[in-house]
């Protein structure tokens, strides 16, 4: 009975009726809106299709065609190859703490996850409604999207202070347009988008219709990949991951219902190295089967040998100057001892050639105790 009750509680916590979804626009589908923002042709009967004949949209499409060809050649194709060779199981839940709207690298490293849980300080913003954006305003909105993605496409990570300021402005504010573009450009089909609110007990429910969309703190996006037979779910939570924040928000209680999972951490400002983020750090350590991270994630000293097998990749160098105090002698000893081959892609803050690194931490399977 206890198992049945727990299962029912989890279903109630995660289920959101599609009949109550928030419409993407008055006319265009969620998926067509995402494709349009990504510079890709929407469906032939979409009300957005006539807008693709405008010179400003054609220039927008050429820009992202070129950008995507470049980023796929030097980054994404190589990440896919690395993940295919070193991550045996990318299904289940992926926890990506301090991610911002970076569903791009989440799906590239872990393409088969059933649920992606992303979190950061950046606001969701409203669900894009392009029926209200025309003429010069549309051109400005498309330029805003390009500016929002400049850093992550060139260097693979968002700068939180810049993102927070930039994503609060313009005709298409918030993280949703960014996630739309990443999903569309990586061949995903968006099926449903809903604002949800997180309760202190960890359940999620549809945002009350009387609540202004500008105050939304979480969004749920359902999408499919490839043949479209298997639905995947993305949750993005705009939330404080500090110990005080997660104690009140219910975020870790929500994550607790999806454990165990895998975790991915990069460009996380070394926040989990201090005491103020110990709750999130402990959750990741206690509930992950596999952790893929750079040195900004869990400190190397916390991967206890009896529990974790840790494999280094690439080259560990001193942190960038703004984080110079976060050098880890234990990381240096690990890399010097194992002498791993360089990565053929860049990841994290050290973006130069042959300066990036990753740690692959795999939880050891405990042998059964003999009677």
What is the DSSP track for 141-170? HHHHHHHHHHHHHHHSS--HHHHHHHTTSS
| Percentage of residues in the chain having pLDDT higher than 70 | 82
Q: How many CA atoms lie within 13 A of 65 on its CB side?
A: 10
Q: pLDDT tens digit string along 233-249?
A: 999 999 999 999 999 99
State CA 240 to chain mean position distance: 16
User: Which sign does the torsion angle of CA 76, 79, 85, 89 carry?
Assistant: negative
Confidence at residue 16, expressed as pLDDT on a 0 to 100 scale: 39
Q: Tell me, what's the pLDDT at 27?
A: 75
Q: Measured in whole angstroms, how far is the alpha carbon of residue 340 from the centre of its chain? A: 27
Chain centroid to CA 252: 16
For residue 17, pLDDT over 80 is answered with: no
Give the other-Cβ count within 10 Å of 66's Cβ: 11
Query: What number of H helices and E strands is found in the chain?
Result: 12, 10
Closest listed residue to residue 257, CA positions, set 283, 289, 295: 283
**Could you report the per-residue pLDDT of 79-114, keeping only the tens digit for each?**
999 999 999 999 999 999 999 999 999 999 999 999
On the question of pLDDT at 370 being above 50, the answer is no
3-class DSSP assignment, residue 42: coil
- List the chain domain ranges: 2-258, 291-366
| pLDDT of the residue at 144 | 76
pLDDT of residue 206: 87
Q: Before 175, cis peptide (omega within 30)?
A: no
Whether the CB-CB separation of 157 and 164 falls below 8 Å is answered with: no
Q: What are phi and psi of 190, to 5 degrees?
A: -80, 125
Q: Say if CB 125 and CB 173 are below 8 A apart.
A: yes
Cα angle 212, 213, 215; round to 5: 75
Computed on alpha carbons and rounded to an integer, the radius of gyration of the chain in Å comes to: 21
- Residue 198: strand pairing partners: 204
Cα separations in angstroms, 211 against 15, 214, 217, 238, 339: 20, 8, 11, 16, 55
Average pLDDT on 261-274 reads 96
Secondary structure class of 357 (helix, strand, coil): strand
> Out of 48-62, 137-151, 181-195, 286-300, which region has the weakest mean confidence (pLDDT)?
137-151
3-state secondary structure 178-227: HHHHHHHHCCEEEEEEEEEEECCCCCEEECCCCCCHHHCCEEEEEEEECC
| Cα distance between residue 51 and residue 364, in whole Å | 54
| pLDDT tens-digit series, residues 148-176 | 777 666 555 555 545 545 555 567 888 99
Helices (H), the chain: 2-14, 30-37, 55-71, 77-86, 103-109, 135-155, 160-166, 176-185, 243-249, 251-256, 278-287, 329-338
H or E element that contains 290: strand 288-293
């Amino acid at each position: 009975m206890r198992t049945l009750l727990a299962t029912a509680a989890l279903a109630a916590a995660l289920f959101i009726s599609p009949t109550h979804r928030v419409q993407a626009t008055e006319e265009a589908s969620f998926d067509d809106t995402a494709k349009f923002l990504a510079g890709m042709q929407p469906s032939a009967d979409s009300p957005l299709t006539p807008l693709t004949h405008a010179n400003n949209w054609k220039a927008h499409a050429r820009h992202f065609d070129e950008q995507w060809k470049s980023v796929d050649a030097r980054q994404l194709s190589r990440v896919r190859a690395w993940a295919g060779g070193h991550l045996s199981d990318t299904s289940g839940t992926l926890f990506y703490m301090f991610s911002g709207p970076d569903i791009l690298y989440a799906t590239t490293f872990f393409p088969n996850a059933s649920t992606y849980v992303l979190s950061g300080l950046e606001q969701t913003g409203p669900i894009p409604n392009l029926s209200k954006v025309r003429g010069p305003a549309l051109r400005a909105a498309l330029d805003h999207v390009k500016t929002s993605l400049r850093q992550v496409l060139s260097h693979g990570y968002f700068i939180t202070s810049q993102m927070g300021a930039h994503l609060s402005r313009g005709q298409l504010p918030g993280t949703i347009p960014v996630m739309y573009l990443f999903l569309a450009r990586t061949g995903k089909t968006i099926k449903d988008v809903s604002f949800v609110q997180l309760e202190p007990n960890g359940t999620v429910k549809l945002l009350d219709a009387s609540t202004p969309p500008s105050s939304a703190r979480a969004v749920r996006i359902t999408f499919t990949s490839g043949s479209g037979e298997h639905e995947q779910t993305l949750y993005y939570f705009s939330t404080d991951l500090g110990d005080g924040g997660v104690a009140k928000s219910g975020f870790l209680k929500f994550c607790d219902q999806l454990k165990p999972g895998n975790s991915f951490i990069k460009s996380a400002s070394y926040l989990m190295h201090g005491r103020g983020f110990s709750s999130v750090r402990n959750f990741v350590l206690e509930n992950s089967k596999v952790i893929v991270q750079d040195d900004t994630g869990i400190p190397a000293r916390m991967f206890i040998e009896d529990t974790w097998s840790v494999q280094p990749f690439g080259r560990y160098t001193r942190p960038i100057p703004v984080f110079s105090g976060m050098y880890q002698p234990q990381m240096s000893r690990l890399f010097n001892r194992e002498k791993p081959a360089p990565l053929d892609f860049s990841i994290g803050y050290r973006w130069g050639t042959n300066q990036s690194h990753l740690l692959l931490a795999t939880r050891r399977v405990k042998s059964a105790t003999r009677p």
